[in-house]
Structure 1
Amino acid sequence: MKSTVGLDANALRSLQANASADPRAAIKETAKQFEALFMQQLMKSMRQATMSSGMLDNSGTQMGTELLDTQFAQKLTGLPGGLSAQIARQLEQQLNGKVAAVTAPTARAGAAEGAQVWNRLPGASRAQDFVARHNSAAEQAEAETGIPAAFILSQAAHESGWGQREIKNADGSSSHNVFGIKAGASWKGAVTEVTTTEYVNGQPQKVKAKFRAYATPEDAFRDYASLIKNSPRYAKVVEQGGTAQGFAVNLQRAGYATDPAYAAKLGRVINTTLRLQRTLTA
Structure 2
Amino acid sequence: MSTTPQRINTPTGDTRSIEALKAAAARDPKAAIKETARQFEALFMQEVMKSMRQATLSSGMLDNSATQLGTEMLDTQFAGKLTGIPGGLSQAIERHLQRQMGLSETTPATGRGAGPAAAAPAALPTLAQKNVQPHVQSFILKHDASARYAQAKTGIPASFMIAQAAHESGWGKREIMQADGSTSHNIFGIKAGANWKGKVAEVQTTEYIDGKPQRVTARFRAYSSYAEAFKDYAQLLTSNDRYRDVVAKAGNAQSFAQGLQRAGYATDPEYANKLTRVINTTMRVQRALA
What range is the shorter-chain TM-score in?
0.5 to 0.7
Per the alignment, residue 209 of structure 1 pairs with 218
- AA matched with 2:130: W
2:203 corresponds, among 194, 200, 209, to 194
- AA matched with 1:118: K
Q: Do residues 232 (structure 1) and 241 (structure 2) align?
A: yes
Conservation of the 8 A alpha-carbon contact between 1:196 and 1:209:
yes
**Structure 1 position 205, deviation (Å):** 0.7
Per the alignment, residue 181 of structure 1 pairs with 190
Kindly provide the CA deviation profile for residues 209-237 of structure 1, in whole angstroms up to 9, marking residues without a partner as x.
00000000000000001100100010111
Q: Do residues 220 (structure 1) and 264 (structure 2) align?
A: no
Kindly provide the CA deviation profile for residues 103-135 of structure 1, in whole angstroms up to 9, marking residues without a partner as x.
xxxxxxxxx98965434x5xx100100000001
Conservation of the 8 A alpha-carbon contact between 1:146 and 1:242:
no
Conservation of the 8 A alpha-carbon contact between 2:176 and 2:184:
yes
- AA matched with 2:258: V
Per the alignment, residue 273 of structure 2 pairs with 264
Per the alignment, residue 125 of structure 1 pairs with 134
RMSD: 1.7
Q: Do residues 249 (structure 1) and 258 (structure 2) align?
A: yes
- AA matched with 1:167: I
Distance in 2, matches of 1:137 and 1:114, equals 25
Distance in 1, matches of 2:241 and 2:183, equals 29
- AA matched with 2:170: G
Q: 219-228 or 138-147, which moves further after superposition? A: 138-147
TM-score by length of 1: 0.57
Q: Which of structures 1 and 2 has the bigger CA Rg?
A: 2
- AA matched with 1:147: I
Distance in 2, matches of 1:188 and 1:240, equals 30
Count residues in correspondence.
Answer: 167
Distance in 2, matches of 1:242 and 1:145, equals 15
Per the alignment, residue 146 of structure 1 pairs with 155
Kindly provide the CA deviation profile for residues 147-187 of structure 1, in whole angstroms up to 9, marking residues without a partner as x.
21101110000000000000000100000000000000100
- AA matched with 1:277: Q
Conservation of the 8 A alpha-carbon contact between 2:128 and 2:134:
no
**Structure 1 position 138, deviation (Å):** 0.7
Structure with bigger helix share is 1
Conservation of the 8 A alpha-carbon contact between 1:195 and 1:206:
yes
- AA matched with 1:178: I
Q: Which runs of 5+ in 1 are unaligned?
A: 1-111
Conservation of the 8 A alpha-carbon contact between 1:146 and 1:241:
no
TM-score by length of 2: 0.55
Report the 3-state secondary structure (helix = DSSP H, G, I; strand = E; otherwise coil) of the residue aligned with 1:232.
coil
- AA matched with 2:287: R
Distance in 2, matches of 1:247 and 1:275, equals 17
Q: 141-150 or 166-175, which moves further after superposition? A: 141-150
**Structure 1 position 280, deviation (Å):** 1.7
Conservation of the 8 A alpha-carbon contact between 1:252 and 1:262:
yes
For residues 1-282 of structure 1, what are the structure 2 equivalents within 5 Å? 117-119=129-131, 124-281=133-290
Percent identity reads: 58
Conservation of the 8 A alpha-carbon contact between 1:228 and 1:235:
yes
Q: Which runs of 5+ in 2 are unaligned?
A: 1-123
Kindly provide the CA deviation profile for residues 23-77 of structure 1, in whole angstroms up to 9, marking residues without a partner as x.
xxxxxxxxxxxxxxxxxxxxxxxxxxxxxxxxxxxxxxxxxxxxxxxxxxxxxxx
Report the 3-state secondary structure (helix = DSSP H, G, I; strand = E; otherwise coil) of the residue aligned with 2:242.
helix
Q: Which has the higher contact order (CA 8 A, sep 6+)?
A: 1
Instruction: Describe the shift of the 1:114–1:280 C-alpha distance in structure 2 as closer, same or farther (beyond 3 A).
Output: closer
Distance in 2, matches of 1:116 and 1:209, equals 37
Instruction: Describe the shift of the 1:136–1:113 C-alpha distance in structure 2 as closer, same or farther (beyond 3 A).
Output: closer
